[in-house]
């Protein structure tokens, strides 16, 4: 079944493609609303969910109770700053081999994994160093 074209959905995707900070639905809504003042928060939520479900964007569940969204659907890893909450793409080699390590003593099949790295981002580390 082909997905019917939606101007709102295209606006949401276009906005996400300009961002690398993995915005929440509320941030997407506030920004897309500048172009289309009639768009509702519900429309943004529904379209983000649909786009994530069909694999056109990534939904990141980082444990903060709020979904974040990423237009980059290529396999990559994320760093979450425990000070400011920023979400940053990590430039690193793939650790796909972790599935084999995890499956070595597991009686089943591992199809994938989600890995987040946590710590202090460069901006927060710099701020901490200045306040010492």
Residue 94 tokens, joined: 């793939």
107 with 90: CB under 8 angstroms?
A: no
- List the one residue out of 7, 20, 119, 3 whose CA is nearest residue 69: 20
Residue 63 tokens, joined: 């444990």
Binding site residue list for Zn(2+): 81, 84, 121, 124
Binding site residue list: 81, 84, 96, 113, 121, 124
Binding site residue list for Fe cation: 96, 113
Q: How far apart are CA 36 and CA 15, in angstroms?
A: 12
């Amino acid at each position: 079944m082909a997905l019917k074209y939606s101007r709102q959905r295209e606006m949401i995707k276009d906005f996400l493609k300009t961002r690398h900070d993995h915005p929440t639905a509320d941030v997407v809504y506030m920004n897309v609303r500048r172009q289309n003042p009639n768009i509702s928060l519900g429309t943004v939520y529904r379209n983000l969910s649909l786009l994530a479900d069909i694999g056109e964007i990534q939904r990141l569940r980082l444990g903060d109770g709020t979904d974040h969204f990423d237009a980059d659907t290529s396999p990559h890893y994320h760093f979450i700053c425990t000070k400011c909450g920023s979400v940053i793409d990590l430039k690193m080699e793939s650790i796909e081999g972790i599935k084999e390590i995890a499956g070595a003593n597991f009686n089943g099949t591992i199809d994938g994994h989600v890995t987040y790295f946590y710590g202090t981002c460069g901006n927060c580390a710099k701020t901490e160093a200045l306040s010492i």
